[in-house]
Amino acid sequence: MPELPEVETVRRGLEPSMTGQVITRAQVNRPDLRWPFPERMAERLAGARVLQLRRRSKYILADLDRGETLLVHLGMSGRMTVSGDPLGQFAHNHPTAQKHDHVVLDMENGARITFNDPRRFGAMDLLPTDTAETHPLLVKLGPEPLGNAFDESYLVNQLSSRLTPIKSALLDQRIIAGLGNIYVCEALFRAGISPRRKAKNIAKSKAAALVPIIRDVLQEAISSGGSSLRDFRQADGELGYFQHRFDVYGRENEPCHTPGCNASIRRITQSGRSSFYCPQCQR
């Protein structure tokens, strides 16, 4: 599933073609994805101007001039791609319609935004902009890891009484919004913290050091266009390439990248998810 860097990469790719533009035509080709589309979705989108595109956790939010916000979740295989962009940022014209093109938005500038989702685990909803943060999917989310509310004192306080492994704590969206399995594994490696260690047993200095490390990992991934493991593509259809810089994720039995370390990367299962780590570098 796309994590924060992949969603932010898509948002940034869509922004030049959508922000400030009117949706001249909306085509909705099925009644639902993960859940039913909102009533009269195509009608409510057509003619609306996109005021801004923002991201909350792993959701893209398009605020419209009609007082509604389009919420988009990519799910496991969802893609939002741009074609026909008059700004010349995307080389290809409008492609032939595909079987899994479920929502198509034509913009006044000639751009076309296509939401394609073969597995149909993605989702879209329309919600009042002024109460968007109270939506069931958003209301319990913790602070953004790239925002000011996520700082050293916050994380130290959040981890100080938690008996769960640090890996599980960092994946808890109520603590930090948007972190996923890939980037937690990478951050813990850089911090030298074992994913097995209980959150409350981590020294305050190490917990505090996780904040800039998490930010660095996310920023590097965003700069690399995210990680393309299976279905993820950027808005122009290109692959991300941060996966070529993984230190531990997906590298089971491969040698550790740390100079002088003779250990191999191990994989364990925690709460149904794979954790990758170096048993020598991470304690």
155-178 pLDDT, tens digit each = 999 999 999 999 999 999 999 999
Same domain, 160 and 109: no
Segments forming the whole domain that contains residue 208: 152-277
Q: CATH code at 159?
A: 1.10.8.50
Same domain, 15 and 100: yes
User: What are 122's two structure tokens?
Assistant: 């993605």
pTM, two decimals, is 0.89
Our answer to whether residue 16 is catalytic in this structure is no
The bridge status of strand 79-83 relative to strand 59-64 is unpaired
Distance (Å, whole) CA 232 – CA 271: 24
Q: How many domains does the chain have?
A: 2
Q: List the catalytic residue out of 3, 6, 144, 186.
A: 3
Same domain, 91 and 61: yes
Q: List the catalytic residue out of 2, 16, 165, 195.
A: 2
Our answer to whether residue 273 is catalytic in this structure is yes
What is the percentage of the chain residues whose pLDDT exceeds 70?
89
Distance (Å, whole) CA 44 – CA 141: 27
Q: Is residue 211 part of a domain?
A: yes
**Span 102-161, pLDDT tens digits:** 999 999 999 999 999 999 999 999 999 999 999 999 999 999 999 999 999 999 999 999
Q: List the catalytic residue out of 58, 167, 251, 266.
A: 58
Same domain, 180 and 104: no
Our answer to whether residue 2 is catalytic in this structure is yes
Q: List the catalytic residue out of 54, 204, 273, 279.
A: 273
Our answer to whether residue 3 is catalytic in this structure is yes
